[in-house]
Amino acid sequence: MLKMCTVAVASTSFSKNKTLRQELLQKYPNARFNETGKRLSGTELVQFLKGCEKAIIALESVDSTLVKQLPELKTIAKYGVGLDSIDLKALAEQNIAFGWSGGVNRRSVAELALCFTLSLLRKIHVHHTETVAGAWSVKPGRELSNCTVGIVGCGFVGKELVHLLEPFQCSILVNDLKDLSEYCQSHKLKQTSLSELLAQSDVVSLHVDLNTSSRNLMSRQRLLQMKAGSILVNCARGGIVDELALKEVLASGHLSGAAFDVFASEPPSDRELLGQPSFLMTPHIGGSTAESILAMGRAAIANLDQAANPLSFLEC
């Protein structure tokens, strides 16, 4: 049965995908897509969503100020998995239902974290840059198999990374707020404190949500707690790492490298950090695979009709 109410798709990634557009239009023939090619915010986002009963949101910020200007809006479905840009309490106050599916891009993000790890350990980015510049200098790297990997946050993506690391037979430490003793025992992992994980790991990979407890989780103090010569990978959320402190710690040589897909402000503007030879970065592409885009988009379409009380997602 065709749904005749208006749906607005703010996500540029969803809007560019022909398959997702077609599948949404089959259910909502008058759906509206973001054709600007840029992330909308403020007045532009309000104007785009105005008059719509349902919306698909990606990284756009949805807060009380926004939803109060959209009295017709009844449902928001999340394209992607992060909830840090959505004020769930504000949605509840305005009686707006919310649809979300966790872990739909877990493989895509976990593969990028593994890619970052291997690239840093083998100094791929350094070798590439120097070779393009005309140098031919071999810098010995490390084998992942002989490393201890610390996974901070062992939810959907963290567990997927554990699975991807199995062929390397490396030692794995995990840190999580939940008791994962049964999971760790079955997968031959060790759950430990964050301090112990940082001190013992050759690779630290972050996979926590961004919230009040995780903002600047990796402070200067914690960065310095990391094992000398280790590497840091962040495919989770910007804001988890103190980027100013990271720049200083990388420059000092305490860490041998860091790789980030996400930043506190995107695109990042700290050219000194971005220019560090031991720093590798990508423009928030963790979920940007053909497979992940379809999975996230189809979940969002389904959640337009399966949305629930926003407050039920606060513990996710």
Same domain, 259 and 144: yes
Q: 231: which residues sit within 8 A by CB, 6+ positions away?
A: 117, 120, 121, 202, 203, 204, 255, 256, 257, 258, 259
CA–CA distance, 292 with 80 (Å, rounded to integer)? 9
Is residue 1 in a domain? no
Say how many domains are in the chain. 2
Is residue 14 in a domain? yes
Which pTM was predicted? 0.91
Is residue 113 in a domain? yes
Q: What is the pLDDT along the chain (316 residues), one digit of tens a residue?
A: 445 568 999 999 999 999 999 999 999 999 999 999 999 999 999 999 999 999 999 989 999 999 999 999 999 999 998 888 899 999 999 999 999 998 999 999 999 999 999 999 999 999 999 999 999 999 999 999 999 999 999 999 999 999 999 999 999 999 999 999 999 999 999 999 999 999 999 999 999 999 889 999 999 999 999 999 999 999 999 999 999 999 999 999 999 999 999 999 999 999 999 999 999 999 999 999 999 999 999 999 999 999 888 888 876 5
The CA distances from residue 226 to 124, 213, 232, 244, in Å, are 22, 19, 9, 16
CATH number at residue 29: 3.40.50.720
Tell how far CA 190 is from the center of its chain.
24
Catalytic residue numbers read 237, 266, 284
Q: Write out the residue range of the structural domain in which residue 233 sits.
A: 106-281
Token couple for 302: 């389904």
Nearest 5°: the CA angle 293, 159, 185 is: 165
Is residue 2 in a domain? no
Q: Which amino acid is at 70?
A: L
CB 147 within 8 A of CB 170: yes
Q: Which amino acid is at 274?
A: L
Same domain, 33 and 49: yes
Same domain, 142 and 186: yes
